[in-house]
Amino acid sequence: MNSKEIRDLSPAEITTKIRETREALLQLRLRKNTGQVEKPHLLRTYRKDIARLETILKQKATPTTA
């Protein structure tokens, strides 16, 4: 998910997406610890997606001063 797609979402949708991505990351970490992970690159991708989502959510929450 890229930044442009995230910016089009509402804050409630972003929060839901963060929750879903964190759950997916948790499941992937658990599978990694048992040696069953097929795509280890997804760990990094999920972490970056979460950071991107949280950053844009904070930007939307703070009023811009000009």
Domain limits, the chain: 3-60
Residue 34 and residue 41: Cα distance in Å, rounded?
A: 16
Burial class (CB in 10 A: 0-12, 13-18, 19+), 40: exposed
Query: What does the pLDDT look like over 3-62, one tens digit per residue?
Result: 999 999 999 999 999 999 999 999 999 999 999 988 999 999 999 999 999 999 999 998
pTM here is 0.87
Yes or no: is domain 3-60 CATH 1.10.287.310? yes
Residue 66 and residue 53: Cα distance in Å, rounded?
A: 24
Residue 13 and residue 42: Cα distance in Å, rounded?
A: 22
Residue 40 per-residue DSSP state: T
**Residue where the block lists tokens 């280890």:** 40
